[in-house]
Amino acid sequence: MVDGISSRSAEGARMSARSIAVLWAVFIMFVPMAHAATTPRDLQAIARAVGFINGLPRGAVDVAIVDGPGADALINAMGRGVSAGGVTLNPRRISLARLAQSGARIIIVPEGQGAAHEAIAAAARQLNAVTLSTDMACVRSGRCVVGVATSPRVEIVVSRAAATASRVTFSQAFRVMIREI
Amino acid sequence: MIRGNPITHLNRGIAIAFAGVSGLAGQATAEPLNRGALEALFEEPVTLSATGAPQRATEAPVNMTIITQEEIRRSGAVDLPGVLERLATVDVMRSTAGQADVSIRGYNEPFSPRLLVLLNGRQVYLDDYGRTNWDAIPVQLGEIRQIEVVSGPSTALFGFNAVAGVVNIITFDALEDDIDQVMMRAGSHGHYAGSAIWTARLAENLGARLSLGGFDAQASAGDDDLALAFFGTEAVDPNARSVALNAAYDIAENIRADFEATWSSSERLDRFATSLVDLPYETSSLKIALSADVAPGLLSAHIYSNDLAYGDQDDATAFGALDNRTTVAAIALVAKLAPAHTLRIAGEYRRNELAQGGGDLGYDVYSLSGMWNWQATPALAVTTAARYDLLELERSGAFVSPDFPFANEDYDQSFSEWSFNLGAVYRTSPRDTLRLGAARGIGSPSLAEYGFNVIAPDPSIGGVVIVAGDPSAAPTIVSNLEFGWDREISTIDGRLRAAVFLQRNENLRSFASRQEHFGSTQPGRRIASAADRGLRCAWPRAGSGRAPRPVQLGCPICVG
Model confidence at A161, pLDDT cuts 50, 70, 90, reads very high
Search chain A and give the residue with CA nearest B337. A176
Residue B202 identity (one-letter amino acid): L
Answer yes or no: is pLDDT of A31 > 50.
no
CA distance A66 to chain B (A): 24
Sign of the Cα pseudo-torsion (B488, B489, B490, B495, in order): negative
Global pTM exceeds 0.90: no
pLDDT digits (tens, 9 = 90+) for B105-134: 888 888 888 899 999 999 999 988 888 999
Task: Tell which of B1, B24, B27, B29 to mutate to test the A interface (max A CBs under 10 Å).
Answer: B29
At A37 the pLDDT is 72
Between CA B456 and CA B448 the distance in angstroms is: 13
B117 touching A (Cβ < 8 Å): no
Q: What is the pLDDT of residues B130-182, one digit of tens each?
A: 889 999 999 999 999 999 999 989 888 888 888 889 999 999 999 989 999 99
Do A176 and B298 make contact, defined as CB atoms within 8 angstroms?
yes
**CA–CA distances in Å: residue B491 to residues A146, B57, B94, B356, B488:** 31, 20, 36, 58, 9
Contact B26 A179 (CB under 8 A): no
The predicted structure's pLDDT at residue A15 = 60
Q: Higher model confidence: residue A164 or residue B514?
A: A164
- Give mean pLDDT in consecutive 10-residue pieces for chain B, a chain of 560 residues: 35 36 38 84 90 89 90 92 90 87 85 90 90 94 95 87 90 94 90 94 95 93 84 88 97 93 93 76 96 92 95 65 93 94 96 90 96 93 95 92 89 94 93 93 89 75 77 90 89 83 84 41 45 54 36 40
pLDDT score for A19: 66
Is the minimum CB–CB distance between B43 and chain A shorter than 8 Å? yes
Q: Which residues of B touch A175 (CB under 8 A)?
A: 336
pLDDT at A2 over 50: no
- Residues of A at the B interface, defined by Cβ within 8 angstroms: 45, 48-49, 51-52, 58, 84-87, 150, 152-154, 156, 160, 171-177, 179-181
Distance CA B169, CA B138 (A): 11
pLDDT band at A14 (very low <50, low <70, confident <90, very high): low
Report the C-alpha gap between B259 and B288 in whole angstroms.
Answer: 5
Cα distances (Å, whole numbers) of residue B17 to B6, B181, B182, B185, B199: 8, 10, 8, 6, 20
pLDDT tens digits for A71-112?
998 999 998 899 988 889 999 999 999 999 999 999 999 988
Query: Which chain B residues are closer than 8 Å to A49 by Cβ?
Result: 41
| A153–chain B nearest CA distance, Å | 8
- Residues in chain A with CB shorter than 8 Å from the CB of B334 are 172, 176
Name the residue facing A173 among B25, B26, B33 (closest C-beta). B33
pLDDT given at position B314: 67
Between residues 337 and 356 of chain B, which touch chain A (CB distance below 8 Å)? 339-340, 342
CB A132 within 8 A of CB A49: yes
Q: At what angle do helices A71-78 and A40-50 cross, to 10 degrees?
A: 80
Tell me the Cα Rg of chain A: 22
Residue B47 with chain A: CB contacts under 8 Å: none
Are B378 and A84 inside 8 Å of each other by CB?
no
Contact A180 B339 (CB under 8 A): yes
ipTM above 0.85, yes or no: no
Greatest mean pLDDT among A50-54, A166-170, A172-176, B241-245: B241-245
Contacts of B343 in chain A (CB under 8 A): none
